[in-house]
Amino acid sequence: MLNVWRPDYKFKFPISGTRNLKFQLAWLAEWEWLAYSKEEDGAYCLWCSLFPPSSGGRSRVGLGKLVHTKFSQWKNAKEEFRAHQNLQYHDDSRLKVAGFLSVACGKQDNVHMQLDTAQKRKVGFLKYSCVYITFPMDSFFPHRPKP
Ligand SMILES: [Zn+2]
């Protein structure tokens, strides 16, 4: 989660569609949850991809786009990103990511450790795994740095 590949200013985003549009690097700074897959030339919500909602709500984009499948309709990108950010399930995913990182990075004990302080010697492993955390994100971020 902390090592997701991000394009930089040198990366040439492919142009697509009849209007010759492409993904804009500035969008990554504008939406912290946004991730770009160069293999698919598509955008994903990192948070909702890691902690997917159980249902899609009423988004025009639908649960598939940005979560289970890429979003690449660049013409409407900013509008769709804004709409996605306001979805309840996106906010739920944001809270799950924040909670997970808090535990994984050692800022907060998980429930079991809070109940049993004798388990605290395992915290070292959790802090270590925070740096090298891996998820099934390889399918669309195969070139992120590996530990
Ligand atoms: Zn989301």
Residues with Cβ within 8 Å of 63's Cβ and at least 6 positions away in sequence, in order, are 52, 53, 55, 56, 57, 89
Domain of 127 in residue numbering reads as: 109-147
Whole-number Å distance, alpha carbon 87 to ligand 1 midpoint, is 8
Whole-number Å distance, alpha carbon 42 to ligand 1 midpoint, is 14
For residues 79 and 144, state if they share a domain.
Answer: no
For residues 98 and 116, state if they share a domain.
Answer: no
Residue with tokens 């891996």: 134
Global pTM?
Answer: 0.68
Whole-number Å distance, alpha carbon 91 to ligand 1 midpoint, is 7
Per-residue model confidence (pLDDT) at position 34: 96
DSSP state of 37: E
How many structural domains does the chain have? 2
Helix residue ranges per DSSP H, 1-147? 26-30, 46-50, 77-85, 88-104, 111-115, 123-131
* 47-75 residue pLDDT tens: 999 898 875 455 545 577 899 899 999 99
Whole-number Å distance, alpha carbon 86 to ligand 1 midpoint, is 9
Whole-number Å distance, alpha carbon 61 to ligand 1 midpoint, is 11
Residue 118 placed within a domain: yes
Residue 86 placed within a domain: yes
Whole-number Å distance, alpha carbon 80 to ligand 1 midpoint, is 11
Q: Are strands 34-37 and 42-45 parallel, antiparallel or unpaired?
A: antiparallel
Per-residue model confidence (pLDDT) at position 5: 85
Per-residue model confidence (pLDDT) at position 86: 94
Provide the residue-wise pLDDT of the chain in tens; the chain has 147 residues: 556 888 999 999 999 877 889 999 999 999 999 999 999 999 999 999 989 887 545 554 557 789 989 999 999 999 999 999 999 999 999 999 988 888 877 766 666 666 565 555 544 444 444 444 444 444 444 454 555
Residue 134 placed within a domain: yes
